[in-house]
Amino acid sequence: MRIDLAAGDDPAARVRAATGDSVVLVIAARDPLEMALARAAIAPLAIERAPAMRVNAVVPGAGADPRDVDATVAFLERARSTTGQILDLA
């Protein structure tokens, strides 16, 4: 399940409310502190939700192509043994 995380969204609350066996957070640009907090939440959430759910994230850069974001989300959805990872896209 793809979750587009807007500025101000709580990543933990969004993941905990999700259903299914996989969540990929797409973390939009935000202020540096909020970005650091969102990034820091991924690994602990992956541990908390395992083994029932995998939690990963994609962080698109300013020039990232939306098709690349979609492809990366699809890759993480199919990567059955991958959890707790953050992929940055330029």
For the segment 5-48, what is each residue's pLDDT rounded down to a tens digit? 998 999 999 999 999 999 999 999 899 999 999 999 999 999 99
Pair of tokens at residue 27: 């973390």
Pair of tokens at residue 49: 């939700």
Give this prediction's pTM.
0.95
For Cα atoms 32, 5, 88, give the angle at the middle one, nearest 5 degrees. Answer: 60
Across the beta sheet with 86-89, the strand order is 2-5, 22-27, 54-60, 86-89
The three-state secondary structure class of 83 is coil
Contact 26, 58 (CB under 8 A): yes
Q: Which residue has the tokens 């933990």?
A: 12
